[in-house]
Homo-oligomer: A and B are copies of this chain.
Amino acid sequence: MRARDLLTPSPTVDLDTPVLDAARLIADRDLPGLVVVDESGAPITILPGPEVLRLAVPPYCQDDPALARVVDEAHADTFLMGVSGRRVRDALPDPPRELPVTDPDATVLELAALMARTRSPLVAVTQDGQLLGAVTLQALLDQVLPA
């Protein structure tokens, strides 16, 4: 079993993709995160799912989430509108997450080592610098768990 046998098509975003579009991809495709690519299509980092919220949540609420409750429900329901106009480059964690990336020949042990090391549920698979797709933790576990 190699990475090529476990590939899931992976929608990509670039640094200028609106954060709301990234959030919609994560929600619609039920993904743990997105691969961020540069202008040439080469993956540069991972945007983990929870990061799309960070720009929209006021810092005082992140420091003490209980303070978020003073915001009334109607305004709370629309908090995500706060990221309108913001781009993926603004949402990336600092420092950027180590990019888990490998090639189509990687074994399941190598994929697992990458996920364990980077604590990422998603590994990008590239060939000649171009993204072929991703392997998710779910796909990996489905293969390696005893029947």
Q: Are B116 and A50 in contact (CB under 8 A)?
A: yes
Name A's interface SS: helix
Q: Are A54 and B116 in contact (CB under 8 A)?
A: yes
Known: A23-B145, A49-B121. A73 touches B112 (CB 8 A): no
Q: Are B71 and A109 in contact (CB under 8 A)?
A: yes
Residue A57 is within 8 A (CB to CB) of chain B in the complex: yes
Residue A38 is within 8 A (CB to CB) of chain B in the complex: no
Residue of B nearest to A25 (CB): B141
**Of the candidates B49, B81, B107, B116, which one forms a contact with A71 in the assembled complex, judged by CB atoms under 8 Å apart?**
B107
A59 to B66, CA, bound (A): 39
A71 to B146, CA, bound (A): 19
A71 to B143, CA, bound (A): 17
Residue of B nearest to A60 (CB): B113
Known: A1-B77, A27-B141. A69 touches B110 (CB 8 A): yes
Q: Are B2 and A73 in contact (CB under 8 A)?
A: yes
Q: Are B69 and A121 in contact (CB under 8 A)?
A: no
Q: Are A73 and B26 in contact (CB under 8 A)?
A: no
Residue A7 is within 8 A (CB to CB) of chain B in the complex: no
Q: Are B110 and A66 in contact (CB under 8 A)?
A: yes
- Shortest distance between the CB of A134 and any CB in chain B (Å): 14
Residue A89 is within 8 A (CB to CB) of chain B in the complex: no
A118 to B2, CA, bound (A): 33
